[in-house]
Structure 1
Amino acid sequence: MEKILIAGPSWVGDMVMAQSLFIMLKQRFPDARIDVLAPAWSKPILDRMPEVNDSIILPTGHGEFRFKDRWQLGKSLRQTQYTRTLVLPRSWKSALVPYAANIPQRTGFHGEQRFVLLNDRRKLDKKILNQTVKRFFALGLEKVAYDTALNGQGNHLDNLPDPALDVNQDNQQILIEKFGFDREKPGIALMPGAEYGPAKQWPLESFRSLAEQLAEKGYQVWILGSPKEAVAGDTIAASGHQDIHNLCGKTSLSDAVDLLALAEQAVSNDSGLMHVAAAAGTFVHGIYGSSSAEFTPPLTEKKQIHSLNLECSPCFKRHCPLKHTDCLNKLSVDSVLQGVEAH
């Protein structure tokens, strides 16, 4: 039986996109055990992936090296006798735990001189592997199939499975009662956050105008985000309309999955919650400024991309290098509202 350890990514959206890989591995190895080595925040998401047997929590914070802690964790995993590992990040530290665990096949991309840590190192062709999900997925292919794909042959990277998170209907009912939602009104989720930076964030004034117009048209608006977005949520809900609910910081990541599955549609910056919404089955309106829907699209057929496609975008910067962020500031509320009403 295959026992596979995945060294997972550090961002919410990337972890959701990695489920496409997990689905493929389960198809290849139906009886396989798939464990994911990941930050503590990711456990609620991994718990909603039926392909994942267990999440193993990294004893480090974001960006921390902590060699001794990683090495000791790897040694503790030797008893599991994993048969292979896939290291999704390209950093040196991410490959340390699988190496310390004595896993015989250790697969990952070239990067940061990981010659000893990985024994199945693969070239990253950014032209062929032009999406994050394709990069994760490709590491799950056998070497021959991987080389064939990079030569532009075969259909190994066609029709990748979309992520699909499990939904807890009992928790949905609890949340409806907790927040006093009106089940007769369709819910629209708004996600104004984007951890990467302001060059990925549609203006709060635009979100606020959209929320108010949606509420006036009979929709129920749920603003979702972490405690960091609580003030942003207050700004969006400043009108005090009874059908605009600021839930930022009031829900767990598991709650967000269930609420997004309950929502009719979601309007979001290119963020982790956008990918959660797609994997929960919601129709997603993805707003793109400095990033690109060609690289990190919502992995669902139920989507509409809102982008001005300016000459200066995508720049992939945290802050607009031209100091105007026109790619987002000039994206009209009316165009997004029309998209919502059309679906």
Structure 2
Amino acid sequence: MKALLVAPSWIGDTVLAQPLCRRLHEKIPGLQLDALAPRWVAPVLERMPEIAQIVDSPFAHGDLSLRARHRLARRLAGNAYQRAYVLPNSLKSALVPFMADIPQRIGFVGEKRYGLINQRHILDKTALPQMAERFAQLAEEPGAPLPRPLPRPRLRSNASERASTCAALGLELPDKLAVFCPGAEYGPAKRWPTRHFAALADLLAETGHTVWLLGSDKDRSIGDEIVALAKPTHLPLNLSGRTSLSQAIDLLAAASLVVCNDSGLMHVAAALDRRLIALYGSSSPTFTPPLSERATILSLHLACSPCFQRRCPLGHLDCLNRLAPQEVLAACLADTAP
């Protein structure tokens, strides 16, 4: 059996697709599962043993490019895929499998994709409250119950890869490494304040931790602000924008402790089985929790949250401003007490 996974366009969502991949291999012995994915999420898929090959999807968000999609589809038609699992719910994401004449095209109904998707699932949000569950449902027949518990996402990072990454970046691993991921692509309503991250960095430095900051180039200014607010005796190292995603995966795998907003790197840290403190503001841990027994979720559960807005509609961001660094520190150290 050869199948194509049409992957999500977000790092965290791609991590949450791994339980589906594991279920497919359990159900279909000898499965070759390839992935059609944007290049910015490909490093995550490269760390999944369930994925055989990755096909680059060169299309930007909102880019229709019918001719380019048709050219890609004709190239994929030569691979003789028998099934396609289309994870995004957009019409555009279903076009390439349809144009490639893949016989079974499996997904949720989405944007009126009748015909493009021919094994259609209808979403029951109550029965499938989590995104990972919704993805995993595609391994079952439409209408069949989802077997639980789900497999946990697990990404690979070995000692050799971590050593190579540190050498390439000119880094030496400290004995106690705390990694902060202070960004969140969705918007500022998901970001714990920089002054709180700086205060937590000071507090962790007093317990012997070295603090590194990870994120994309867009997060560099956030990291710079945290460094500027921290005490000069133990300044965090801002690596935002200095690493590839593959290198960030290795650095997260080397951490003793990770503190993240609800973001793609939070799900990566969970899949690497790191001790993780996940901070939630405008989003909901009910929908996209870190799937790890070593994760602690911190949320104030205010009446106004989750609002799922990019910016606080009330202008105060109390859901994160009122989450004190001392409370996060206690969660950080709870698992390390003798």
Q: TM-score, normalised by structure 2?
A: 0.95
The answer to whether residue 310 in structure 2 is matched with residue 318 in structure 1 is yes
Report SS of the residue matched to 1:5: strand
Within-5 A mapping of 1:95-174: 95-143=94-142, 147-149=143-145, 156-174=146-164
CA-CA distance at 1:243 after TM superposition = 5.7
Within-5 A mapping of 1:26-105: 26-105=25-104
AA partner of residue 250 (structure 2)? D
Contact 2:202 2:234 in 1 (8 A): no
Instruction: Give the 3 Å change call, closer, same or farther, for CA 170–303 of structure 1 in structure 2.
Output: same
The answer to whether residue 293 in structure 2 is matched with residue 301 in structure 1 is yes
Any unmatched runs of 5+ in structure 1?
A: 150-155
Report SS of the residue matched to 1:25: helix
User: In 2, distance between residues paired with 1:45 and 1:180?
Assistant: 22
Task: Provide, for residues 178-222 of structure 1, a one-character-per-residue CA deviation record: whole Å limited to 9, x for no partner.
Answer: 444353x31111000000111111101111111121112210111
User: In 2, distance between residues paired with 1:51 and 1:133?
Assistant: 16
CA-CA distance at 1:242 after TM superposition = 4.6
CA-CA distance at 1:115 after TM superposition = 1.0
Q: Which among 248, 266, 290 is matched to residue 282 of structure 2? A: 290
Any unmatched runs of 5+ in structure 2?
A: none
User: In 2, distance between residues paired with 1:102 and 1:182?
Assistant: 49
Report SS of the residue matched to 2:40: helix
Instruction: Give the 3 Å change call, closer, same or farther, for CA 187–73 of structure 1 in structure 2.
Output: same
The answer to whether residue 245 in structure 2 is matched with residue 253 in structure 1 is yes
Task: Provide, for residues 318-342 of structure 1, a one-character-per-residue CA deviation record: whole Å limited to 9, x for no partner.
Answer: 1111111110111111100011111
Is the deviation greater in 311-320 or in 172-181? 172-181
User: In 1, distance between residues paired with 2:116 and 2:88?
Assistant: 13
Contact 1:59 1:70 in 2 (8 A): no
Contact 1:134 1:157 in 2 (8 A): no
Q: Equivalent residue for 1:15?
A: 14
CA-CA distance at 1:235 after TM superposition = 1.4
Q: Equivalent residue for 1:229?
A: 219
Instruction: Give the 3 Å change call, closer, same or farther, for CA 176–216 of structure 1 in structure 2.
Output: farther
User: In 2, distance between residues paired with 1:133 and 1:162?
Assistant: 10
User: In 2, distance between residues paired with 1:240 and 1:174?
Assistant: 30
Instruction: Give the 3 Å change call, closer, same or farther, for CA 79–176 of structure 1 in structure 2.
Output: closer
CA-CA distance at 1:314 after TM superposition = 0.7
Is the deviation greater in 124-133 or in 165-174? 165-174
Task: Provide, for residues 119-167 of structure 1, a one-character-per-residue CA deviation record: whole Å limited to 9, x for no partner.
Answer: 1111111111111000100011123xxx132xxxxxx341100111110
Report SS of the residue matched to 1:44: helix
Root mean square deviation, CA, Å:
1.3
Contact 1:219 1:243 in 2 (8 A): no
User: In 1, distance between residues paired with 2:317 and 2:34?
Assistant: 41
AA partner of residue 237 (structure 1)? V
Q: Which among 319, 324, 328 is matched to residue 320 of structure 2? A: 328
Q: Equivalent residue for 1:270?
A: 262
Q: Equivalent residue for 1:209?
A: 199
Q: Equivalent residue for 2:172?
A: 181
AA partner of residue 90 (structure 1)? N
Q: TM-score, normalised by structure 1?
A: 0.94
User: In 2, distance between residues paired with 1:267 and 1:169?
Assistant: 22
User: In 1, distance between residues paired with 2:41 and 2:171?
Assistant: 28
Within-5 A mapping of 1:183-198: 183=174, 185-198=175-188
